[in-house]
Amino acid sequence: EAGVAQSPRYKIIEKRQSVAFWCNPISGHATLYWYQQILGQGPKLLIQFQNNGVVDDSQLPKDRFSAERLKGVDSTLKIQPAKLEDSAVYLCASSLDIVGTGELFFGEGSRLTVL
């Protein structure tokens, strides 16, 4: 079974530029999450989708961050314009919420450096 795919793995941009990250969850997983992990900290939820609807975006800085999951499968997270403090790893995760523990399966992350 293929895992959660993310791209690009690394991105370096200057402040005020824009960047987009892509995520393809595990097949059949209805719920998709974007987390931000700043160096030395635990992941922080940015947005949660169930199919193509937003469940929780309360911690998403909506003045500069946007995310979509138009067809209920893959998702894109965009930052425009980027700030220095956006330097972090952006982790995408998915979960199967029918039975079991419903653990999250994570991708390898997209590391963003803003100069």
Partner 1 sequence: AQKITQTQPGMFVQEKEAVTLDCTYDTSDPSYGLFWYKQPSSGEMIFLIYQGSYDQQNATEGRYSLNFQKARKSANLVISASQLGDSAMYFCAMRGGVDTGRRALTFGSGTRLQVQP
Nearer to partner 1, 18 or 59 (CB): 59
25/109 with CB nearer partner 1: 109
* CA-wise closest residue to 57 among 93, 33, 88, 82: 33
For the chain, report the end-to-end CA distance as a whole number of angstroms: 37
Q: Is 111 left (phi over 0), alpha (psi -120 to 50) or beta?
A: beta
Residue type, 48: Q
Q: Parallel, antiparallel, or unpaired: how do β-strands 19-24 and 44-50 relate?
A: unpaired
Residues forming contacts to partner 1 in the complex (CB under 8 A) are: 31, 33, 35, 40-45, 48, 55-56, 89, 91, 93, 95, 97, 101-109, 111
Provide the minimum distance between the beta carbon of 9 and partner 1 in the complex, in angstroms, as a whole number. Answer: 9
In the bound complex, what is the minimum distance in angstroms from residue 16's beta carbon to partner 1?
A: 27
62: left (phi over 0), alpha (psi -120 to 50) or beta: alpha
Read off the amino acid at residue 80: Q
Work out how close the CB of 88 gets to partner 1 at its nearest, in angstroms, rounded to a whole number: 12
- Nearest approach in angstroms of CB 105 to partner 1 is 7
